[in-house]
Structure 1
Amino acid sequence: MLKQFAVMALLAIPGVATAGDLLCPEVEAPPAPVCVSTPHGLAYADTGEEAHRAADALGDAAQHYMLHFGRAPVGTLILSTDLDPLVANDHARAHGLDYAQVWLPASAKRAMTERAMRQAGVDRAGITRALAGAAEREAVTLRHEVGHAMYAAMYWPDAAGASLQVRYGTPAPDWLDEAVAILMEPPEAQARHLESFIDAAKHRPQTIPGLTDFLQAEHPVRSAALARALSRGPRSGSGVQMVVADGGEFPGVDSFYGQSLLLALFLAETSGDPRILVPISAAIAGGATFDQWLASEGVAHGLPIDVPALQALWDGWLKSQVLQRGRGGKG
């Protein structure tokens, strides 16, 4: 049921546009040796296989992003272990692209993961199990990271490519930033987030924050504990850091992604507007808070005027549409 729920939420959103064709620019020092052009941006990597993998992620993320926002920024995804993201951003802007996202090639990601796990004391069997299915997870991660980049480019273009962010991803509230990135993932990956949330909501309900707290919460991994763990883990020259930890080290991380996704789906369903994140994001990018947007625009969008009233609707929706459906995998 969870998988079907996620698919239905996606397919209910109409309207897909396409961008014009792009060409890989001829430059003396490209971000990576191989470039693949797509209607949605440029994909760079050290090998043709990796470049096509990046191109697929760009296309998939752009299609999903257009479903929810009407259009998708056009940028570049660069798989590199040593390219400075600021240099990548300069390259993107020099060629009229909206954003640049630097991530690791699959082989480098696998090597960093193995190194981090060895540092954490994981045995060989555990490492082998953890690395199984790595290619599938990496495809999801690429789409997720591109989602962050597109969202920043659309609403906070001056922050795109910055070396430091005030928030976890974009300057948006962390729940909203994560919701957008998760909406770029395939339904199967979204379902896993929902399952983690439902498990926490059923067995540890005291760990699920109410909307007043959740709307203002920082991402659970933004903590002193994570900073200490990251300082001990491997880091690529392009700035990607890695740490191995169990969920108990970062309370709430197992449910945060699912709650972020569900809140976005709840707002879309309750308002009747599958692109409700557009006016919300525009208002927040303009300096308003979510509470202020509700007070001024909530009624016009079929929503209450304040968070307490929204909480009541959320509680009922969560119970009837999510928690009861999740029992035994049946509707």
Structure 2
Amino acid sequence: MPHSAAAQTTDNPTSLCQTAASQDWFEDDWACEVKGDGLAIAAPSQTAILADTLDDSVEQFESFFGPTTTKVAVVGASPLPPEGKQLLEEAGYVVLPWISKAARQRLVRASVERQVMEQTAALPEAQRQALLERALSQLEQGEADDNQAPSPTELGSLAHEAGHLLLKAMIDGAKTLPTGQIRYGSSAPDWLDELAAVLNENAELTSSRYDSARERLAEGKSPLSYTLEEFLTMEHPSLKAAELVRARQGGGGNVAIALSGDEAKRFLEQSGGDPVQFYVQARLFADFMLDATGNQQVFREITQAYSSDGDLADWLEENHAAYGLPSDTDALAVRLDEWVAARLKQDL
């Protein structure tokens, strides 16, 4: 559609939904709903809660990182056709795919079918089909309904992904990475990118992060899987594995896939680390800094330091006295360990 037509819908949510509904990619059983800065195109029974979640996620992001003009849309299609993505982006939205429980079941089924067919290629067809039937019988029983209400964990995950996109829009805008350069999210360091996402999570996911930390503590392990120096300089543990999967799927855009069995095991092996522990450490470090500084928008300041070609060490050197923090990251790591130990002790 012409740019001018899309632009006319920017301040008219009803018009934007009407335009979207007239597109060939818009499924007959979808609905479109806008709530503040959130838009959802999905099953009619889900659009209100999805749009509300995204509107809340923008507000939550702003509470930590400052004002943004970016809005977030979620669409029940993966991948979204270019014309659909263009329509929403020209109206000021970044776009996420929405995968319902029923859609995930279909993706997992496809993953299992692909693996069985690959692993039994040399066998007679009847034997292959028998093995496939046996493998599929092990999957979750019962068909999920596309209209089933999203769980709190699903909604928290949606807000998490919105956090990634909002930080990327704030830092990078429409910039594209140089050829050959690969990033997990924005051009910010991966720890800051992930921190923006976990700060956007709901109480359900936040509680699960602390549960994971307490489990490690009960096992006699440090709740922090990485030293602070490692955490501040490392790539996201899933980056390399995600790129391999993306390349196999043809690359490009936000494409939702599901991995199971051997594929999921290979993904974790190729990651070179447990992404869950990266999320846990991002949450603990975020809460430590918020508590230590008493500044809800301390990460807005730190993000600005990185945008000015600085880093956390530079920010600390300049601001440590104002916040009563150590002047270097080595001493900050000691304070972090002490804070985490005290925080988790409160839960015992």
TM-score, scaled to structure 1? 0.76
Cα distance in 2 for residues equivalent to 1:320 and 1:188:
22
| Stretch deviating more after TM superposition (32-41 or 306-315) | 32-41
Change (3 A) 1:276 1:109: same
Identity of aligned residues (%): 23
Structure 2: gaps of 5 or more residues: 1-10, 117-134
Per the alignment, in what secondary structure is the counterpart of residue 135 of structure 1? coil
Change (3 A) 1:221 1:315: same
Matched, 1:63 2:76: no
Deviation at 1:145, TM superposition (A): 1.4
Cα distance in 2 for residues equivalent to 1:162 and 1:80:
28
| Stretch deviating more after TM superposition (120-129 or 61-70) | 120-129
Matched, 1:99 2:99: no
Residue of structure 1 in register with 2:37 after alignment: 40
Taking the TM superposition and a 5 Å limit, the aligned residue runs for 1:197-208 are: 197-203=213-219, 204-205=221-222, 208=225
Residue of structure 1 in register with 2:346 after alignment: 325
**Aligned partner letter, 2:55:** G
Residue of structure 1 in register with 2:310 after alignment: 288
Matched, 1:127 2:143: no
Contact 1:200/1:255 (<8 A) preserved: no
Change (3 A) 1:248 1:284: same
CA RMSD of aligned residues (A): 3.7
Give the number of the structure with larger relative contact order, counting CA–CA contacts within 8 Å between residues 6 or more apart: 1
TM-score, scaled to structure 2? 0.72
User: Greater Rg, structure 1 or structure 2?
Assistant: 2
CA deviation profile, 1:139-159 (whole Å, cap 9, x unmatched): 222222112112222222124
**Aligned partner letter, 1:289:** D
CA deviation profile, 1:2-61 (whole Å, cap 9, x unmatched): xxxxxxxxxxxxxxxxxx98444243537635321211132223x322433431321231
Cα distance in 1 for residues equivalent to 2:172 and 2:165:
10
Cα distance in 2 for residues equivalent to 1:30 and 1:68:
39
Per the alignment, in what secondary structure is the counterpart of residue 127 of structure 1? coil
Residue of structure 2 in register with 1:13 after alignment: none
Contact 2:54/2:162 (<8 A) preserved: yes
Contact 1:43/1:51 (<8 A) preserved: yes
Cα distance in 1 for residues equivalent to 2:87 and 2:246:
28
**Aligned partner letter, 1:113:** V
2:170 pairs with 154, 158, 169, which one? Answer: 154
Deviation at 1:271, TM superposition (A): 0.8
Residue of structure 2 in register with 1:182 after alignment: 198
Change (3 A) 1:114 1:253: same
**Aligned partner letter, 1:168:** Y
Deviation at 1:205, TM superposition (A): 3.5
**Aligned partner letter, 2:140:** I
**Aligned partner letter, 1:191:** S
Structure 1: gaps of 5 or more residues: 1-19
Change (3 A) 1:37 1:103: same
Cα distance in 2 for residues equivalent to 1:248 and 1:24:
44
Matched, 1:217 2:217: no
Change (3 A) 1:241 1:166: same
Cα distance in 2 for residues equivalent to 1:207 and 1:275:
23
**Aligned partner letter, 2:80:** L
Change (3 A) 1:185 1:54: same
How many corresponding residue pairs? Answer: 302
**Aligned partner letter, 2:230:** D
Cα distance in 1 for residues equivalent to 2:203 and 2:295:
20
Per the alignment, in what secondary structure is the counterpart of residue 147 of structure 1? helix
Change (3 A) 1:285 1:235: closer
Deviation at 1:93, TM superposition (A): 3.8
| Stretch deviating more after TM superposition (136-145 or 248-257) | 248-257
Contact 2:104/2:258 (<8 A) preserved: no
Per the alignment, in what secondary structure is the counterpart of residue 298 of structure 1? helix
Contact 1:151/1:170 (<8 A) preserved: yes
Deviation at 1:269, TM superposition (A): 0.4
Deviation at 1:227, TM superposition (A): 5.0
Cα distance in 2 for residues equivalent to 1:243 and 1:294:
41
